[in-house]
Amino acid sequence: MKIMVFLPWIGLLFISVAQAGLPANDSQGQPLPTLAPMLEKVTPAVVNISTQSHVEERDNPLLKDPFFRRFFGLPESKPRQRRGQSLGSGVIIDADNGYVLTNNHVIAKAQEISVHLRDGRIVEAELVGADPEADVAVIQIPAKGLEALKLANSDELQVGDFVVAIGNPFGLGQTVTSGIVSALGRSGLGIEGYEDFIQTDASINPGNSGGALVNLRGELVGINTAIVAPGGGNVGIGFAIPSNMARELMGQLVAYGEIRRGRLGVSGQTLNPELAKAFRLKFSKGVLISSVEPGASADLAGMKVGDVVVGINGRAVEDTADLRNAIGVLRAGAEINLKVVRAGKNLNIIAKIEAPAQEKFEGRQLHQRLEGMVLGSITEDSPLYGNVTGLVLLEVKPGSYTWRAGLRKGDIITSVNREEVNDRDELEKALKLTRQNVLLNIRRGNRALFVLL
């Protein structure tokens, strides 16, 4: 199975609306199903986004090595760049302030962002903030007379509800398709760090990234994000980020320009029938708490090992993905209401999300070849926590030695000189194995690569 996040594509598009079960309109005495009245109100709020970026082309790593260049008398190499383009869609959420909600992958690394409105206007946009982990971004456009979409409560969606997917690829008009909600709460797909997708069979086409998924009242229920494409084409399985999740993230992006995720200070595992039997529980859905960090928010709130979390802020928690997603959209300092079962009794526990502690240090403090990078540990709020060990690059200064070597913010250093590293002490020990070149094993997304410094 191939899961596809939309990438730039230009093609012929059309308006297609499924007919079964849709509202009727009496025309010449014959009732005809139509979504036209609703779409007339909704489509002006769905915009096209086009971006321009400068992509650095890869050179042979040896050409970046100062010792190699000095030995052969080569001049200082300058990174070559080519111009890149990206196309996608967006949804106007706040008409007064010009806020447009879209996917992070639509605007990632963009130097220029242009928004094409339904009325033909083209305006330059500024990035307000982005969250790569949830693939959500907010941009702002300085335009008057905008129309915004109302956000629905996506928690009220049910499998079988009719929905309409709307996108607006660059310069070629809009695409409108309809279908139903096929499933809810889809996660574990490996598309994003935080996954709580709406699955729909409404045909979602390339170029619809960041576009709207609306209900038949014309309210936004999701942001179209990805499709399952075994053969590279649409097979009727699309995914959208729920509007409630997008709303929470947008609030932080507008307020802070970033997502300030917090932590609870617990570890847990998804409850199953075997564990439920062992703990003498009459249910088998929830998160069994296996450890509580001393002094952390959960500990101060009174949580205990063996507690089973079955709800958070009024929403059911069935597995660890539910709990992690619910906490992942909340900012540090927010209070949460946890519904917990302890020894057969129902409890409500109020806890405060705390900011994750993260040790930061500059690479040049340990070795001159690590100049330009700031490293830290993988914290509990990271989607890689518990799955990958290593040190994360929190910053890589543009133009620095490590930047020119190809290292970027978000890379995970899993080993140095073929020695695993999990903290500063292990990194320092591994660096002492060489006086010259430093061999890094890097985890970047789903890829792994070696970088020689």
Q: pLDDT at position 361, please?
A: 83
Q: pLDDT at position 74, please?
A: 60
Put simply, whether the predicted model's pTM sits higher than 0.75 gets the answer no
Residue 394 CB coordination number (10 Å): 15
Q: In Å, what is the CA distance from 294 to each residue of 246, 298, 340, 353, 360?
A: 32, 9, 19, 15, 22
Separation between Cα atoms, residue 309 and residue 316, nearest integer Å: 9
Q: pLDDT at position 191, please?
A: 57
Q: pLDDT at position 27, please?
A: 54
**DSSP summary character for residue 16:** -
Residue 275 CB coordination number (10 Å): 15
Q: What is the pLDDT of residues 131-165, one digit of tens each?
A: 888 899 999 999 999 999 999 999 899 999 999 99
Q: Considering just the CA atoms, what is the radius of gyration of the chain in Å?
A: 25
Separation between Cα atoms, residue 123 and residue 261, nearest integer Å: 32
> Which amino acid, one-letter code, is at 322?
D
- Sign of torsion, CA 200 206 210 213? negative
Kindly give the parts of the chain with pLDDT less than 50.
1-2, 6-20, 170-171
Extract the tokens encoding 13: 């598009």
- Sign of torsion, CA 342 345 346 351? negative
Q: pLDDT at position 427, please?
A: 87
Separation between Cα atoms, residue 18 and residue 266, nearest integer Å: 46
Q: pLDDT at position 383, please?
A: 67
Q: pLDDT at position 162, please?
A: 95
Which residues is 215 bridged to in the sheet? Answer: 163
Separation between Cα atoms, residue 409 and residue 258, nearest integer Å: 15
Residue 373 CB coordination number (10 Å): 27
Q: Are strands 197-200 and 175-186 parallel, antiparallel or unpaired?
A: antiparallel
Question: What DSSP line would sit under 317-376, residue for residue?
Answer: --SHHHHHHHHHTSBTT-EEEEEEEETTEEEEEEEE-BPPP--EEEGGGT-GGGTTEEEE
Mind listing the domains of the chain with CATH numbers?
A: 1-66+78-256 (2.40.10.120), 266-352 (2.30.42.10), 360-452 (2.30.42.10)
Sequence-distant (6+) residues with CB within 8 A of 393 are 373, 374, 375, 407, 408, 409, 410, 411, 412, 413
Task: Measure CA 250 to chain center.
Answer: 12
Annotated catalytic residues are: 105, 135, 209
Q: pLDDT at position 11, please?
A: 36
Q: pLDDT at position 15, please?
A: 36
Q: pLDDT at position 204, please?
A: 79
Extract the tokens encoding 109: 């690394």
Question: What DSSP line would sit under 422-445, residue for residue?
Answer: SSHHHHHHHHTT-SS--EEEEEET
Q: In Å, what is the CA distance from 28 to each residue of 20, 25, 33, 355?
A: 20, 10, 13, 63
Matching residue, tokens 């057969």? 344
